[in-house]
Amino acid sequence: MTPPEAASSKSATPSWREAWAVYLQPRVLIVLMLGFSSGLPLALSGSTLQIWMRESGVELGTIGLFALVGTPYTLKFLWAPLVDALHVPVLSRAFGRRRGWLVFSQLLLIGAILLLALTDPARSPLFVALGALLVAAMSATQDIVVDAFRVESLSESEQAAGMASYVAAYRIGMLVSTAGVLFLVSAFEDTGIGRSAAWMWGYVAMAALVLIGTVTALAATEPGQSAVAEAATRGEAALSRVLRAAVGAFAEFLVRKRALAVLAFVVLFKLTDAFSGVMTAPFVIDLGFTRNDYAAIVKGVGLVATLVGGFAGGYVARRYSLVTSLWIGGMLQAMSNLAFAWLAYVGTSQWALAVAISAENFTGAIGTVIFVAYLSALCQNPLHTATQYALLTALAAVGRTYLSSGAGYVAEATGWPLFFVISVAIAIPSLVLLAWLHRRGHFDELGPVRV
């Protein structure tokens, strides 16, 4: 079995022409479009919905509680075995195991977004919460299928480009459902439509954009690995297949050496990003920047930096071994938080904000692409790719959803400059675990890593 370092050194360093050519491969382009579809709904039940609620007069305490609607993203591994094992009537027969679930989850997501669009935050926050929870659940289900499809469909030479494209398109989808919705609602209001109706039509437009992912799923081909797994379980009872996917996925992972250390590393690697990122919007507003500044710089300039960082992360993943790439990504995403500490002293300077946001998004995208490469390397059995990957990404979301929930109290107690210094120090435990796993041969045991 070839260690990752050996595999990396054996392959020639790709030229820039070769590095860019792989991004035009059909399977990579399919993953890119599915990345957009996955990124689109996240903010619709999160930051964009919070702005809609605030403009409708909902109290801050109630808005804060809406962070809990992101729970499906941390629990999606519970129903991932159903995605691995069960067939969607008609759709699975027509399109295949993964594509059938893709189309099914996207149709449900469209319905959930339309339901949320018809709610009124001022009059019925309970129904808004129900609609947001459904959007998050259907979005998480789509993520389960897209992740499995990406891991199974891309060849070894396409994995890095596929992951970079996926991350870049995911961020574009998030931009469309945040700044895009805000601009769209303003445009509807300028035509004389009331605020409530403008928000409704903004969400209807987002539901229509989910069809991009549906068309992509119809244009794609079923991954070969999925077809092999399907053939291996043909004739088995549905319950048996579900149990095989659930028990097999967890058992196979937990019997690995140093499994608990690996799980801890998965939880902690992106925590430094999550801890600082959850306070970016309040920090920018506290400095005196306007909502338009936030939309233009944080979402505009930040998007460009994310795109460049995503492709840079793909190049790093191809150029270096997995463990070296993780060191690069981990160090960069932690140190970039110092740019916000510097911004806290500079004050309301738009160019300084652009520099800080660019640094954070660029390094964060590099870290994300490399981290996704690592998660993909841990999922190598097509019988339960969706379940294993959902478990790992759910664990990674623990930092974003729960461990970073106290960031506001830390910022209040320390002030902004020291807060961002602390967010850098939060990366230390993950880097210590990375060194520990490396010294004990964890990355060698992964075999040929597809990055």
pLDDT of res. 450: 46
pLDDT of res. 26: 81
Show the domain range for 44. Answer: 4-445
The tally of domains found in the chain comes to 1
Task: Identify whether 451 is part of a domain.
Answer: no
pLDDT of res. 39: 92
Q: What are phi and psi of 66, to 5 degrees?
A: -70, -10
Task: Identify whether 450 is part of a domain.
Answer: no
pLDDT of res. 393: 82
Q: How far apart are CA 291 and CA 404, in angstroms?
A: 24
In CATH, what number is assigned to the domain containing residue 177?
A: 1.20.1250.20
pLDDT of res. 449: 47
Task: Identify whether 74 is part of a domain.
Answer: yes
The pair of structure tokens assigned to 343 is 């911004």
C-beta separation of 48 from 177 below 8 A: yes
Three-state secondary structure call for residue 415: coil
Q: What are phi and psi of 449, to 5 degrees?
A: -85, 130
pLDDT of res. 155: 76
Task: Identify whether 215 is part of a domain.
Answer: yes
The pair of structure tokens assigned to 412 is 């209040």
Task: Identify whether 283 is part of a domain.
Answer: yes
Cβ partners under 8 Å of residue 218, min gap 6: 95, 99, 103
H helices present in 210-337, as ranges: 211-219, 224-233, 238-254, 259-268, 271-277, 280-287, 291-293, 302-319, 322-335
**Could you report the per-residue pLDDT of 80-124, keeping only the tens digit for each?**
888 877 888 899 888 888 899 999 999 999 999 999 999 988 888
Tell me the Ramachandran region of residue 167: left when phi exceeds 0, alpha when psi lies from -120 to 50, beta otherwise. alpha
Stated pTM of the model = 0.71
Closest CA to 314 of 16, 6, 12: 16
C-beta separation of 37 from 142 below 8 A: yes
Chunk the chain into consecutive blocks of 10 residues (it has 451) and report each block's average pLDDT, rounded to whole numbers.
Answer: 40 55 79 92 86 77 72 84 84 87 95 94 87 94 89 76 81 86 87 89 95 93 71 61 68 77 92 80 75 69 82 84 93 94 86 89 89 83 73 79 74 87 94 95 71 41
pLDDT of res. 335: 95
